[in-house]
Amino acid sequence: MPMAPDQPAAPVRCQDEKLFLVIVIVLALVAGVGSWFAAAALSHREKPHGIPPDKERRLGDFSLIDTAGRTVTRNELSGEILVVSFLFTSCSLTCPEVTRHMAEIQQLTATNTGVRLISLTVDPRTDTAPVLAKWGARFGTDTNRWLLLTGDKAMLHGLIGGSFLAQDIGDPFNSMPGNFTGTDRIAVVDKQGTLRIFFDGLRNETPAAVAAEIARLQNEN
């Protein structure tokens, strides 16, 4: 006579199905919470905060040369809000990206009078006026509103180091001309010549942030 089975299999299978359903629900909740945190982090990343200067800095006197070979001095820029970037044309990674964002700022401020864009080379030996003119043409610079400046190395490095960026002279691995740090930043200088804030020149959100900072400064006066 055949032996009867010890227990029916149906209750065990039912318990397994319930356990599987609970696991699926828990995993869905975990994934949902993870997605929420990821979205929150992305939202935070897309709202760039300005970077304060390392100390109080003001735009110093200078006499430099633009892409047409014309002399540009500090006095010419008096009373204007300045957006300042730094470059060297032999740079193939960060400098084109920063300059591309400067071009976007140029577009965003096209109808905004009293705003001038300035790009200072840290390598004037290579970046002569014709070289900078070619670089500017690549990014559609409006030479009436955006000046790419070169000139005497001592004057340029003195201006950049005194008015904008720190220098790390003791770093033997710093290949940046002038040993400047933060050359991928974009600076905003107010009408009185005071450096107010930096923005990360590599971020896609920076042009809009710079435009908003310009509007804020204009509303101060």
Using one digit for the tens of pLDDT, what is the confidence trace for 181-193? 999 999 999 999 9
Question: How does strand 146-149 pair with strand 115-121?
Answer: parallel
Could you tell me how many residues make up the chain?
221
Cβ neighbours of residue 172 under 8 Å, at least 6 residues apart? none
172 pLDDT tier (thresholds 50, 70, 90): low
For the chain, the domains span: 63-220
What are the phi and psi torsion angles at 75 (to 5°)? -60, -30
Q: What is the pLDDT of residues 42-97, one digit of tens each?
A: 334 445 689 999 999 999 999 999 999 999 999 999 999 999 999 999 998 999 99
Measured between alpha carbons, how far is 32 from 58 in angstroms, rounded to an integer?
A: 49
Q: Which residue type, as a one-letter code, is found at position 4?
A: A
Q: What is the pLDDT of residues 4-30, one digit of tens each?
A: 445 445 555 555 555 656 565 656 554
DSSP 43: H
Residue 127 CA, distance from chain mean position: 22
Render 173-221 in DSSP notation, one character per residue.
Answer: T--SGGGBS-TTEEEEE-TTSBEEEEEETT-TTHHHHHHHHHHHHHHH-
CATH class of 63-220: alpha beta
